[in-house]
Amino acid sequence: MEKIIFQSDDGTTAEFYVEGQTNIAGVTYLLVSDSQDEEADAYILKDISAPGSTEACYEMVEDEGELQAVYAVFQQMLDDVNFEWRSDF
């Protein structure tokens, strides 16, 4: 499992494990987790990089409709993973 480091605008960093990647309507999404534990929290990130950019730029998906649609795709892709939907983040 690939581990990636994200850096926020304020310079803080966070490490995530890439659980999956998909492309929907030309937009790349990552499913990442904060640990490799069974009870890990997972997040869906959207690639918002400028075309031709040498660095990837991701943001957490916050739109409820978009989040549910992408969540459903990842759930089908990763049928061996037990997802529990939580919208309290």
Predicted model pTM: 0.81
Q: Is the dihedral of CA 77, 31, 46, 22 positive or negative?
A: negative
What average pLDDT does the chain have? Answer: 86
28-64 confidence digits (pLDDT tens): 999 999 888 878 888 999 999 998 899 889 999 999 9
Q: What is the DSSP letter of 74?
A: H
Between residues 72 and 82, which one has the greater pLDDT?
72
What letter does residue 25 receive in the DSSP assignment? T
The string of pLDDT tens digits covering residues 56-78 is 899 999 999 999 999 889 888 87
**CA dihedral of 75, 64, 3, 5, whole degrees rounded to 10:** 170
- Nearest to 62, CA basis, from 33, 25, 87, 32: 87
Looking at residue 42, its pLDDT comes to: 87
